A = this chain, B = another copy of it.
Amino acid sequence: MTKTPPAELALIEQIRQAFPTPRRATLALGIGDDCAILRPPPAHDLLVTTDFTLESRHFRRDTHPAHAVGYRCLARGLSDLAAMGATPLAAFLSLALPHDLPQTPSGRRWIAHFLSGLATLATATDTPLAGGDTAQSPTDTILADIVLTGSAPTGTALRRSGARPGDHLYVTGSLGGAAAELRIVLAAANPSAKTPNHIEELGHPHLYPHPRLHQGQTLRRRALATACIDLSDGLSTDLAHLCTASRVRAEIDAATLPVHPLATHQPDAFTLAVHGGEDYELLFTAHPETRIPSKIAGIPLTRIGTILKRNSRQPQITLLQPNGTREPLKPGGWQHFAEHKQTPSPTNGRPTRSVIKVTK
């Protein structure tokens, strides 16, 4: 064996130490073999989701603290599990680092903080890291891909496709906060831009979103929801996904939208709430006779609209304005390969466009 372990082995060892694998019945074998071995509870389905976290697409090293990048990397996957009402079983991290990163003190700090942020949320949600892959990045960009596995009793996982005409439409928490904080975070990199000083009081909906695992699990366990999706791409886009999967249309009552306090400070608050992505709240539907609690574990559930019968002469989503008029609502969240305005400045996976206008 070589005397000083090669840097890749050192990275794997660093990951192992950041994520001690507690013995548990559902994880028979963690990091260190060709595969991890999971043992889902009997009569449970297994849920799987994967999410990229790519530098300069989903974060910027100069504006996003490494701790938050690691936290968000895991949060994205956990939110997908939350949307199905699943309980996390294990996460897998594929991580490619630029050649120089592990060789400088600041680079080593970045790695340690990234792993620490990921471990913080992993511990808080009881999600062991059971494996993954490491590589040298082919460029100077940091590349991560997170895989989340979870379980739910057979046949009970919430899906996008169960909404029926007449169902009520609900959202957890509030909307637009992530887009608002993203704007503030990007502006902070620009010394001439003003940064509000109330961000601490209002939480960090962009840097530290809360995957709604408990809420999703409660909706599933109590059979409250007919369909569910997480708000990663923005309300207008994700509601369109839900409507397409359920073959229905929807109407949103604009007056009822819960706008995040951080967004209300922005001139385009409503736009941020409707089109801004990455709030990682849950959007769900329920039969009109189902009694939906006003809160689950302290997080408000707000009715924001109604599911309607599909009709080729009607837009998929309409917005009922406070003055009683209706207008079509087109999906406005991000699309990675959208053909307009591709600037290299990252806005968390979405091309810079008017919705999330970058302040710099």
Contact = CB atoms under 8 A, between A and B. Distances in A.
B33 A161 contact: yes
A1 B331 contact: yes
Contacts of A160: 32-34
A9 B97 CA distance: 29
A223 interface: no
A135 B54 contact: yes
B138 A55 contact: yes
Copies of this chain in its oligomeric complex: 2
A50 to B, nearest CB: 5
A40 interface: yes
Interface residues of A, number: 86
A150 B35 CA distance: 9
A149 B10 CA distance: 27
B133 A52 contact: yes
Given A6-B339, A143-B143, A145-B145, A48 B131 contact: yes
Nearest to A344: B138
A142 to B, nearest CB: 9
Interface string A35-63: 11111101001111111101111100000
A24 interface: no
A337 B245 contact: no
A60 to B, nearest CB: 10
A8 B36 CA distance: 31
6 contacts: A29-B159, A34-B80, A34-B229, A36-B47, A38-B45, A38-B48
Given A8-B336, A48-B92, A135-B336, 15 more contacts: A6-B335, A6-B339, A8-B337, A8-B338, A28-B155, A34-B230, A35-B48, A35-B148, A37-B84, A46-B149, A50-B132, A54-B137, A56-B138, A103-B339, A138-B346
